Amino acid sequence: MAAVALVVMGLIWEFTLIPWILLGAFAALYFLEDLRKDKITQPIFKIFKSLLPPMNSTEREALEAGDVWWDGELFKGNPDWKQMLSYPKPELSKEENDFVNHQVEELCKMVNDWKVVHEDKDLPPEAWEYMKKEGFLGMIIPKEYGGLGFSAFAHSTVVSKLATRSGSLSVSVMVPNSLGPAELLLHYGTEEQKNHYLPRLAKGEEIPCFALTGPEAGSDAGAIPDLGVVCKGEFEGKETLGIRLSWNKRYITLAPIATVLGLAFKLHDPEGLLGDEEDLGITCALIPTDHEGVEVGNRHYPMGQAFMNGPTHGKDVFIPIDWIIGGQEYAGKGWRMLVECLSAGRGISLPSSAAATGKLSYRLTGAYSVLRQQFKTSIGQFEGVEEALARVAGDTYQLESMRVMTAGAVDLSCKPSVVTAIAKYHMTELARNIVTDAMDIHGGRGVIMGDRNYLSSGYMSMPISITVEGANILTRNLMIFGQGAIRCHPFVFREMQAANNPDERAGLNEFDSLFFRHIGYGVSNFVRTLSLSFTAGRIAHKPTSGKTAYYYQQLTRMSSALAMVSDISMMLLGGELKRKERLSARLGDVLSYLYMSSTVLKFYEDNGRPLSDLPYVEWCLQKNLFLTQKAFMDFFDNLPVSWLGATLKRLVFPYGRAYKMPSDKLDHKIVQSMLTDCELRDRLTNNIFIGEENDPAGRIEHAFKKVLASAPLALKLRDAMKAGKLKAGRTKEDTIATALATGVFTQEEANMYAEAEAARLDAIQVDDYSKEYIATGKEGKPKAKSKAA
């Protein structure tokens, strides 16, 4: 290709020798394999090895776990959008849909979150029974073992709906279905373990928990000090090969009521009873909690939530060796098992709860903004409130798109470790912002806790979502790019494996073949980035027509820039990039916003490109592109080599900043569907629990519908007043009575208007309780309330 280009250039312009000499030297080196390896590859290989960040076996196993999916395309710089659009649309089967509409609805009705959290500090016994009987605790267990055998998407939808009723309820269901004994057994358990435990877990006869975290090992979970020593001991009256175990774990969800404890510990074999290796590494075992020496029962009290969570201890507890998950063969493989299972589960549990926070806040905050009037105006009409409503609206669209596509990825039988980390981090952060905005918009109605409050419990528990399954600061700063850049890069991971090859020559051969292709990849990214930057992305391929085409082009442009900037940064900073967390996190942000934007475009296409969604799609894409630009700019401004930062900035944004945040006009557009009873509002907030008129969400929803239905009457009243036919009374009741008396309203209209007004007044009320009840959660009944107290 290069030779043809030179010939053509020679025909058009003057012949110049230098490019031909360079090309000749390059070709000679390329074809003289031994010379190339010794003179070029070998020294580079040495430098590459010295630049690699030090990596222990737990870090390496974490890197190797999980799969690369659409993130790989986004990272490589030229995403194949057709591929993304061809992923099947995640959908519920009829059986799953029926379960969501019946069993999940029923379970939600059994649980009153205020009572659970404030009075009982536990779910009602009938809810626990129902969960066990209907298989809620075994959704991911295949039917052959008596489980529901649900897809990841169905699992996510169930958890999400439960979370709109009660966080304590959804966590209690989420944990047995996420990273825990069932998931580990399904992937690694022996046939005997599966046949024993899975049917019992599916029916709720066993309650599982999984204990990894301890006082000294939180984020750095690979550093657990809990120890198991292989030895012989007595079990059921016989001498048995086993493990003497000591552990001290905390924060363990379901531990206080668990019947089977999944435990991670480090395994030592000083007597060589299992083989030659003494330090076998992290190992996972299943231990019945009634086994001698196992301590469970005490509870922590996380943010006042009522789900079961507590510590577990054990000292010198002897367990038989075949209690290791997967048996003796899996001794020492626990870390990899955990990381692989986490890769999938992390994309379901917390993302589903985050989407639930968004959907509930969207639906009820929009409705409340219609119901609540100040200065004789619904507060949703004020521009300041509209600004916050727009964030709730747009981010909820983002959350639901991301929930659907990420759960769908897990159903494609892959364990996408990078996109699930992106989903965990960004979705919980978006949910935190949404619930804060929702609280602000509700004012005192959000702050006063009680039976009527549908926001405060979610607001209080938000730090839990931020902390668990990879605390967010760590996830952003260490995992998304740290893992993403290495796993998604088409060459770096394989080059690292070549560098770690104990056979030096084989490693060099492998590296040689990868390195030259890596150079080609780098050059093509550079050329593509330059052409896309200078044409403002307009020459990029458009996989669709219409307004979204522009966004695909801009995403390709940013993806190309990410590929180029990542390569240059890795080359420049090597292992230092891992320690420069704030720099690498920004590149991780770019990858995240590209992924988030993809999910929005896919959601839009999968829903048949509804016209009503277009402002939402544009809002999300504009916000994501703006944040991508910000992440890049902050990265360039903070690069230790300032001239390089300035040069990269010029290359990626030659005409200065290219993207802006959504305009006030677009904000206004997307808020309108929150304030009306429309198809988009229903579709975006489908599968949430609303309940009846006296349920916290139902009260708002019913008032909203009544007030919207009576809106023409409010106009009639206003027009009559303007025309001087009617004077406003001292109260609304007086006005309605006068409207009836003067013939402005018929009796039916007066009734309808009065009912809507009563519902509106009821919806804005807050709870008050006796002092005893506030103090104890038990004594003294809450005061009875009249409808419009």
Give catalytic residues, as residue numbers.
Answer: 469
Beta bridge partners of 282: 266
Q: How many Å apart are CA 572 and CA 336, to the nearest integer?
A: 31
* Residue 767 near residue 453 (C-beta atoms within 8 A): yes
Among 369, 417, 477, 533, binds ligand FAD (CB under 6 A): 477
Query: At 541, is the secondary structure helix, strand, or coil?
Result: coil
Residue 296 in contact with ligand FAD, rule: CB under 6 A: no
Select 156 or 312, whichever has its Cβ closest to ligand FAD. Answer: 312
By rule CB under 6 A, what string of x and - marks binding of each residue 571-600 to ligand FAD?
----------x-------------------
Residue 304 in contact with ligand FAD, rule: CB under 6 A: no
By rule CB under 6 A, what string of x and - marks binding of each residue 669-708 to ligand FAD?
----------------------------------------
Applying CB under 6 A, which part among 92-100, 153-161, 246-254, 507-515 lies near ligand FAD?
Answer: 246-254
Place of tokens 């809106």: 711
Residue 471 in contact with ligand FAD, rule: CB under 6 A: yes
CB of 242 to ligand FAD, least distance (A): 23
Residue 218 in contact with ligand FAD, rule: CB under 6 A: yes
Within residues 42-71, the interface with ligand FAD by CB under 6 A covers none
Select 529 or 584, whichever has its Cβ closest to ligand FAD. Answer: 584
- φ, ψ (nearest 5 deg) of residue 771: -60, -40
Distances (CA, A) of 172 to 108, 175, 256, 308, 350: 13, 6, 12, 7, 13
Q: How many Å apart are CA 688 and CA 300, to the nearest integer?
A: 29
Distances (CA, A) of 626 to 70, 424, 661: 22, 21, 6
Select 90 or 302, whichever has its Cβ closest to ligand FAD. Answer: 302
Return the DSSP state at 322: G
Applying CB under 6 A, which part among 133-141, 143-151, 204-212, 524-532 lies near ligand FAD?
Answer: 204-212
Residue 210 in contact with ligand FAD, rule: CB under 6 A: yes
Residue 285 in contact with ligand FAD, rule: CB under 6 A: no
CB of 412 to ligand FAD, least distance (A): 27
Six-digit token string for 375: 């200065």
Residue 334 in contact with ligand FAD, rule: CB under 6 A: no
Select 284 or 651, whichever has its Cβ closest to ligand FAD. Answer: 284
Nearest to 338 by CA among 269, 273, 266: 266
Within residues 117-136, the interface with ligand FAD by CB under 6 A covers none
Six-digit token string for 618: 């544009």
Q: How many Å apart are CA 231 and CA 242, to the nearest integer?
A: 6
Q: How many Å apart are CA 87 and CA 737, to the nearest integer?
A: 60
Among 156, 164, 253, 629, binds ligand FAD (CB under 6 A): 253
Select 379 or 591, whichever has its Cβ closest to ligand FAD. Answer: 591
Q: Which residue is nearest to ligand FAD (CB)?
A: 218
* Residue 589 near residue 565 (C-beta atoms within 8 A): no
| Measured CA angle at 196 (ends 191, 199), to 5 deg | 105
Residue 212 in contact with ligand FAD, rule: CB under 6 A: yes
Residue 464 in contact with ligand FAD, rule: CB under 6 A: yes
Residue 348 in contact with ligand FAD, rule: CB under 6 A: no
Query: At 529, is the secondary structure helix, strand, or coil?
Result: helix
Residue 774 in contact with ligand FAD, rule: CB under 6 A: no
The dihedral through the CA atoms of 374, 376, 380, 385 has a sign that is negative
Residues 6+ apart with CB under 8 A from 519: none
Applying CB under 6 A, which part among 46-54, 466-474, 687-695, 753-761 lies near ligand FAD?
Answer: 466-474
Q: How many Å apart are CA 188 and CA 194, to the nearest integer?
A: 9
CB of 62 to ligand FAD, least distance (A): 13
CB of 581 to ligand FAD, least distance (A): 6
Give the interface size with ligand FAD as a residue count (CB under 6 A). 21
Applying CB under 6 A, which part among 94-102, 337-345, 465-473, 518-526 lies near ligand FAD?
Answer: 465-473
Return the DSSP state at 690: -
Applying CB under 6 A, which part among 14-22, 203-211, 443-451, 502-510 lies near ligand FAD?
Answer: 203-211
Applying CB under 6 A, which part among 288-296, 474-482, 564-572, 591-599 lies near ligand FAD?
Answer: 474-482
Residue 467 in contact with ligand FAD, rule: CB under 6 A: yes
Select 227 or 471, whichever has its Cβ closest to ligand FAD. Answer: 471
* Residue 63 near residue 483 (C-beta atoms within 8 A): yes
Residue 302 in contact with ligand FAD, rule: CB under 6 A: yes
CB of 505 to ligand FAD, least distance (A): 36
Beta bridge partners of 266: 227, 282
Select 528 or 586, whichever has its Cβ closest to ligand FAD. Answer: 586
Select 172 or 477, whichever has its Cβ closest to ligand FAD. Answer: 477
Residue 480 in contact with ligand FAD, rule: CB under 6 A: no
Residue 473 in contact with ligand FAD, rule: CB under 6 A: yes
Applying CB under 6 A, which part among 197-205, 247-255, 405-413, 615-623 lies near ligand FAD?
Answer: 247-255
CB of 54 to ligand FAD, least distance (A): 14
**Exposure letters 176-201 (e unless 16+ CB within 10 A, then b):** bbbbbbbbbbbebbbeebbeebbbbb
CB of 421 to ligand FAD, least distance (A): 13
Residue 90 in contact with ligand FAD, rule: CB under 6 A: no
Among 252, 308, 324, 325, binds ligand FAD (CB under 6 A): 252
* Residue 262 near residue 184 (C-beta atoms within 8 A): yes
**Exposure letters 45-67 (e unless 16+ CB within 10 A, then b):** beebeebeeebeebbebbbebbb
Residue 553 in contact with ligand FAD, rule: CB under 6 A: no
Q: How many Å apart are CA 501 and CA 495, to the nearest integer?
A: 10
**Exposure letters 311-333 (e unless 16+ CB within 10 A, then b):** bbbbeebbbebebbbbbeebbbb
Give the count of alpha carbons within 13 A of 5, CB side only.
5
Q: How many Å apart are CA 139 and CA 132, to the nearest integer?
A: 11
Q: How many Å apart are CA 51 and CA 56, to the nearest integer?
A: 15
Select 302 or 537, whichever has its Cβ closest to ligand FAD. Answer: 302
Residue 261 in contact with ligand FAD, rule: CB under 6 A: no
Applying CB under 6 A, which part among 209-217, 564-572, 597-605, 772-780 lies near ligand FAD?
Answer: 209-217
Residues near ligand FAD (CB under 6 A) are 209-213, 218-219, 251-253, 302, 309, 464, 467-468, 471, 473-474, 477-478, 581
